[in-house]
Structure 1
Amino acid sequence: MADFNFLRRPKAEISPQQLAPPSNQTSPYYIHPNENPSLVLVSPLLDGSNYHCWARAMRMALLSKNKLKFIDGSISPLASTDPLFPIELQSRFSQSDIFRIADLQEEIFSLKQGDLSISEYFTQLKILWDELTNLRPIKSCTCGSVDSARTYRDEDYVLRFLKGLNDQFTSVKSQIMLLDPLPSINRVFSLVLQQERELSLASNSKILLAKRPPRSGFKPSGNYTQQKICTYCGKPRHTEENCYRKHGFPPGFKFHNSSAAVNNLTTQDSGLLKKLLLHH
């Protein structure tokens, strides 16, 4: 999910009443006819590795559409009594759906990383968490229990995220769970993402070493030599190009048996005899 922490919150906030009416094109509430929820503001999309260039492009896109004030906190949230507040839509569709809540809880607890990257896995969890929060928001009160409820909910996010990771992240998962208090979910996501990058670099290094050509002094093993078979004499451990029986034995070659020596001498003597006959 997109994280807009790269935008600094200004000191002074603007109330909606201080802005131009929504029908005025200079108002941040004005929506151009070509704008719709499926409009892509930035390309390429955020994939986890291009955050800095994506954040810069997103800031420029929001600024050009006069919507940056909604993100950086310049505009204070609408009160429920404000005329711009969609009270009618809220009263129609904001009723809690107990069946959807049950499905969301089951999806959250059954979701595992599997073949997903850390960014993809976290994004899917974040979507489920946000929908569940919309159906079951933490209501404000004056007793001070809201902070405790939010703390427990944030810890549940961290635990659920860590428990769904693959086994290769066991080390970093154990180290994080030993911390007291637990870090925020965004901090935990950042730590695990760094671990994923380190594991990826180590894996790529092993692949490059495996593809490196052998050194010039490399000698094949005995098994590799025994796999060679000469097509001329049918003997193993050499090829026809190096076959002594076809091209002749080198001088001083030591034979393992007497029959090979006799055959070699016969071949050499016949060669000398032919040379003598040619000279005479």
Structure 2
Amino acid sequence: MTFSTSSYLNAATGSTSSTLHALFDANHPYFLHPSDHPGLVLLTITLNEQNYNQWSRSMKIALSSKLKLGFVDGTYVKPVSNATLLMHWNRCYDIVISWIPNTISSEICQSVLYMSVAKDIWDDLIIRFAQTNVPKLFNLKKELAYLSQRNMSISAYFTKFRSLNDELDALSVVPHCDCGKCSCNVNAKLDNFSKTAKLSQFLMGLSEQYITIRGHLLLMTPVPTLSAAYSLLMQEENQR
């Protein structure tokens, strides 16, 4: 869906001139906070050749929170019939383009520095760094398969396990039925299967000193969530 500024303005006041300044509030894509300057660094993550998926997800969240994601994915189309709207659109567009180099490594930055179209920059980074999903999936699954607690605390082990699974979920989305006609509740079954599989793998990696509570967790009905299991394991660790 494309964002239509004129429909937004007409719906609000029936005017596109005298009330423009009043409509650009914090809920409007053309709104810029005083802190939204070209030197703003949106992320603590810097894009390199190895972390595109984490960077892309974080960047989308950051831009979306500022209502600016549409400037890089092409959703917010350039106004052509209103000079005032065009001025504001260009201002936001240039600001967004200035943010992207602030979040990528200097080596990659040099290759996109002179590109003037935000969507071209975005698509170029996708083509260059998002096509390595299969090797990345292989490495993530291999790391998860060999992950165990060993000398880590419950908290450190859980954090490592959770981060690997979250990255894996971002790369390999489980298919869901969206026809709206199914009566077999397949989506809920898939979700429960995934949660149970993750819990089982998490418990498999626990140190032998947690055999008793592991058996208790496996016998619980309904099966606890990963977070609930972590909470019980933390209590056990604190008691020790």
TM-score with structure 2 length normalisation?
0.51
**Structure 2: tracts of 5 or more residues without a match:** 1-24, 46-61, 77-95, 97-117
Equivalent positions of 1:113-128 (< 5 A) are: 113-128=149-164
1:167 to 208, 213, 229: 208
Q: 101-110 or 17-26, which moves further after superposition?
A: 17-26
2:232 pairs with 1:196 = no
Relative to structure 1, the CA distance from residue 22 to residue 192 in structure 2 (aligned partners, 3 Å threshold; closer, same or farther) is: farther
2:37 and 2:236 mapped to 1: Cα distance?
Answer: 42
Query: Once the 2 structures are TM-superposed, how far is the Cα of residue 139 of structure 1 from its aligned partner?
Result: 3.5
Instruction: Report Cα offsets for 1:32-71 as digits up to 9, x if no partner.
Output: 73434228xxxxxxxxxxxxxxxxxxxxxxxxxxx8x95x
2:220 pairs with 1:179 = yes
Equivalent positions of 1:105-144 (< 5 A) are: 105-142=141-178, 143=182, 144=185
**Structure 1: tracts of 5 or more residues without a match:** 1-16, 40-66, 200-280
Residue identity matched to 2:144: I
1:147 and 1:81 mapped to 2: Cα distance?
Answer: 33
Choose 1 or 2 for highest CA Rg.
1
User: Contact 1:158–1:184 at 8 Å: present in 2 too?
Assistant: yes
Relative to structure 1, the CA distance from residue 25 to residue 97 in structure 2 (aligned partners, 3 Å threshold; closer, same or farther) is: same
2:190 to 149, 152, 162: 149
% identical aligned pairs: 22
What SS does structure 2 have at the residue aligned with 1:183? coil
**With CA pairs under 8 Å and 6+ residues apart, which has the higher RCO, 1 or 2?**
2
Residue identity matched to 1:97: N
Equivalent positions of 1:196-215 (< 5 A) are: 196-199=237-240
Relative to structure 1, the CA distance from residue 89 to residue 194 in structure 2 (aligned partners, 3 Å threshold; closer, same or farther) is: farther
Query: Once the 2 structures are TM-superposed, how far is the Cα of residue 141 of structure 1 from its aligned partner?
Result: 2.2
1:100 to 121, 124, 136: 136
1:137 and 1:90 mapped to 2: Cα distance?
Answer: 21
**How many equivalent pairs are there?**
147
Partner of 1:20: 28
Partner of 2:41: 35
Q: 135-144 or 160-169, which moves further after superposition?
A: 135-144
2:227 and 2:194 mapped to 1: Cα distance?
Answer: 14
2:223 and 2:171 mapped to 1: Cα distance?
Answer: 26
Query: Once the 2 structures are TM-superposed, how far is the Cα of residue 89 of structure 1 from its aligned partner?
Result: 6.6
Relative to structure 1, the CA distance from residue 81 to residue 137 in structure 2 (aligned partners, 3 Å threshold; closer, same or farther) is: farther
TM-score with structure 1 length normalisation?
0.44
2:232 and 2:145 mapped to 1: Cα distance?
Answer: 22
Which one has a larger percent helix, Structure 1 or Structure 2?
Answer: 2
Partner of 1:88: 123
2:34 and 2:229 mapped to 1: Cα distance?
Answer: 40
2:125 and 2:223 mapped to 1: Cα distance?
Answer: 35
Query: Once the 2 structures are TM-superposed, how far is the Cα of residue 90 of structure 1 from its aligned partner?
Result: 8.3
2:175 and 2:74 mapped to 1: Cα distance?
Answer: 18
Q: Structure 1 segments of 4 or more deviating over 6 A?
A: 84-87
2:227 and 2:177 mapped to 1: Cα distance?
Answer: 26
What SS does structure 2 have at the residue aligned with 1:33? coil
Query: Once the 2 structures are TM-superposed, how far is the Cα of residue 115 of structure 1 from its aligned partner?
Result: 0.8
